[in-house]
Structure 1
Amino acid sequence: MSEPLPVRTVLVTGAARRLGREVALALAGAGWNVGVHYRGSASDAQATVTDCAAVAMAGRKVDAFQADLGDESQARGLLGRVAAAFGPVDAVVNNASMFEHDTVDSFSYAQLGSHLLTNTGAPILLAQALHEHVKGRAAPPRDAVVVNLLDQKLWNQNPDFLSYTLSKAALEAANTMLALALAPRVRVVGVAPGLTLTSHLLSQEKFDALHRLSPLGRSSTPADVVAAVKFALDNTSITGTTLLVDGGQHLMKFDRDFSLM
């Protein structure tokens, strides 16, 4: 008779919609307790909680947690709220992201600052909080992991979305520093998708055409990205590196962001 799966708890930021929702659903189905973070999409977050609960194993917990990650006090307090509701936390998937267009011509301190707070500062604070949370556990420690969602754009740069790109580049650099600073208690892994989901900026026809622009003839799907996140969470030998999941799009040169091509 196989042993029951250990109960692990994960906080997924930006999990009300899109890719974060897909990650939350997959981890709920894989036996995790799931904290569904959202900023303003309360109804979507509750729908994600309901759908996660429908696929979760018996006895597993799912709940929604609101926080504005651009506010330092709210970002600092988020993991503690999840721990108070669920017990020990084992992982954070930093998926929440600000993504607003600017270029060198429209760049401002305000745009850069807003992107850095949400896209760089909050993931670092949550990694710090997870490390503090697990330091007091009795040996041997359970494996604790931070997964940071990045972007193939960092390896295939263009001048669009300047502040967003800078904030993600800073987070990619933080992967290395955090992996060194938080070892051996916490692993830190990046996952960098390519073009994965369409948006209001792209018609379905245009999205399909752009999705095919890669050496493999297809970019990443939500299932591909989720599989990489699960791999990063489960493989206890990986830290301080990034998994590019993009069909090889980072190997090609694009003069503009996909949404503006």
Structure 2
Amino acid sequence: MSALPSSPSPSPLPRPRTVLVTGAARRLGRCIALALAAEGWQVAVHYRASKHDAMQTAEECAALARTSAAFAADFQDEAAVRALLPRVIGHFGQLDAVVNSASLFEHDDARSFGFSALERHLRSNAAAPVMLAQALHQHLGERAAAGDCAARGVVVNLLDQKLWNQNPDFMSYTLSKAALEAAGTMLALALAPRVRVVGVAPGLTLGSQLLSAERFAQLHALSPLGRSSTPEDVAAAVRFALENRSLTGTTLLVDGGQHLMKFERDFSLM
């Protein structure tokens, strides 16, 4: 009597991917975090001071994916930035991507410009993202040395259509985003092939205390397509950047074409 063929052993489940989304407690970062969790990403929710909102975002992400957790770090503090990825990796076991959404956005112009404002914006909006990319590359290198042949990662930097449509408002903010855009090109070269680096540049996406709902709707419609970006549009572009293995060293402008128009002032001051 011949033996029955043995059933093939089940293949191990693929390890879930983990992404750190900075500034994910509120607004656009929160939308991106939830969109990625809905796609199965484990989300590390970074925040600076909005602990309650961050914990809420992490809870909602965990309900969509396997797990989530919130991590505080002040991006003005280099030591705190350098400690962030080891904390995330210690919690999740590994990290596969970073989405740099956290951003300082304080008004200044040519008259009020000073060293202090520029330094604050550069620390938060450019230096911290570069350090996080550096740390992700190191982590992936350690994984590769340990035999992980699939150790590849992605950094997505949130930029701004203002870089392609400049006006004199928010000078330090704009300079810091210009530095981040240039860093994206350099990092894409320096960290390849282990890490891809992609920029996503929204247009006017969310309202603020500086704009009434009616005025926001009017400005949002000022584009060749008759609409600028929504949070869902931006989150979809981030997902695309994370998944498309041919993208690096480039920026996706997600703004309804607002960068093709000339605006003399920032939207918040129009």
Question: What are the within-5 Å matches in structure 2 for residues 55-70 of structure 1?
Answer: 55-56=64-65, 60-70=66-76
- Whether the 8 Å CA contact 1:93–1:148 is kept in 2: the answer is yes
Cα distance, 1:12 vs. partner?
A: 0.3
TM-score (norm 2): 0.93
3-state SS of the aligned residue for 1:148? Answer: strand
How far apart, CA to CA, are the structure 1 residues paired with 2:267 and 2:125?
Answer: 20
- Whether the 8 Å CA contact 2:129–2:157 is kept in 1: the answer is yes
Amino acid at match of 2:86: G
Aligned to 1:73: 79
Cα distance, 1:107 vs. partner?
A: 0.2
3-state SS of the aligned residue for 1:102? Answer: coil
Cα distance, 1:257 vs. partner?
A: 0.1
- Whether the 8 Å CA contact 2:141–2:151 is kept in 1: the answer is no
* Count, aligned residues: 258
Question: What are the within-5 Å matches in structure 2 for residues 125-140 of structure 1?
Answer: 125-137=131-143, 138-140=147-149
Question: Percent same amino acid at aligned positions?
Answer: 69
Question: What are the within-5 Å matches in structure 2 for residues 153-232 of structure 1?
Answer: 153-232=162-241
Amino acid at match of 1:225: V
Aligned to 1:249: 258
Alpha-carbon displacement from aligned partner over 1:86-117 (angstroms, at most 9, x marks no partner):
01100000000000000000000000000000
Cα distance, 1:142 vs. partner?
A: 3.0
Alpha-carbon displacement from aligned partner over 1:64-99 (angstroms, at most 9, x marks no partner):
000001100000110110000001100000000000
3-state SS of the aligned residue for 1:168? Answer: helix
Question: What are the within-5 Å matches in structure 2 for residues 37-48 of structure 1?
Answer: 37-48=46-57
- Whether the 8 Å CA contact 1:5–1:31 is kept in 2: the answer is no
- Whether the 8 Å CA contact 2:140–2:152 is kept in 1: the answer is no
Aligned to 1:234: 243
Which entry has the higher C-alpha Rg, 1 or 2? 2
How far apart, CA to CA, are the structure 1 residues paired with 2:151 and 2:85?
Answer: 17
Moved over 2 A (4+): 2-6, 138-143
CA RMSD of aligned residues (A): 1.4
Gapped regions of structure 1 (runs ≥ 5):
none
Cα distance, 1:40 vs. partner?
A: 0.2
Gapped regions of structure 2 (runs ≥ 5):
1-10
